Structure 1
């Protein structure tokens, strides 16, 4: 049961990586330039900051769920859905000529989210298999 056995490490590492998004809440201009190679547009500062704190807190709760077992299932479900939607957004816009130049800038984020979604599916599969 690989996924179940390594769940705590997965939650800690995945949560810490997810927490990096909090930089968008505190310094969106720096984050956009350094992490995405994009120019900052002050018109969207509330959106960037909201997204950054939401995803940053998601990462914090993922790490917390490594230690607080009662929190795991709802946090893993929320995290899975949030990350799956990001993956959907990336691939649904992959061939859109208006956003194609952005796709390369988000590849590290998508790789992280795909990895976490696949690990979550593996964990859920093992949990379902062990209950049968």
Structure 2
């Protein structure tokens, strides 16, 4: 199932991830409208850097749907990047000082958790099919 739908997964997950480019283009609008957080111009470089980095990650996910030789390195980088977002989200759930941010970044946390889960399922299924093929030889 995971291998069969990998192209669709990369396109949908990549398109959603690519949406972060709005933080590079207009960080004030993104923070205020999407996350309901005040925009502090002191952090414009960091916010824009994050937006372009994650936006490009989404672009490369979409591109790897069509360029098979790119899939493994892009999927590996994607799961590392997204696991860290999931880690940040989960570790802040119980922190009184930052727990309000979880509400503001809930969509990111859930999206990245789903992408991580699918990626693990893909790798597990791929490993199982490789093991079965080895046993047939």
| SS, match of residue 2 in structure 2 | helix
User: What residue is the counterpart of 1:122 in the other structure?
Assistant: 121
Alignment of 1:1-132 (within 5 A): 2-132=1-131
| SS, match of residue 3 in structure 1 | coil
Residue by residue over 1:45-72, the C-alpha shift from the partner in whole angstroms, topping out at 9 and shown as x without a partner, is 0000000000000000000000000000
User: What residue is the counterpart of 2:135 in the other structure?
Assistant: none
C-alpha distance in 1 between matches for 2:62 and 2:87:
24
Structure 1: which 4+ aligned runs deviate by more than 4 Å?
Answer: none
User: What displacement does 1:84 show?
Assistant: 0.4
Unaligned runs of 5+ in 1: none
Cα RMSD (Å): 0.5
Residue by residue over 1:90-129, the C-alpha shift from the partner in whole angstroms, topping out at 9 and shown as x without a partner, is 1111111110111111111111000000000000001100
| SS, match of residue 66 in structure 1 | helix
Equivalenced residue count is: 131
* Structure 1 length-normalised TM: 0.98
| SS, match of residue 17 in structure 2 | helix
C-alpha distance in 1 between matches for 2:125 and 2:87:
25
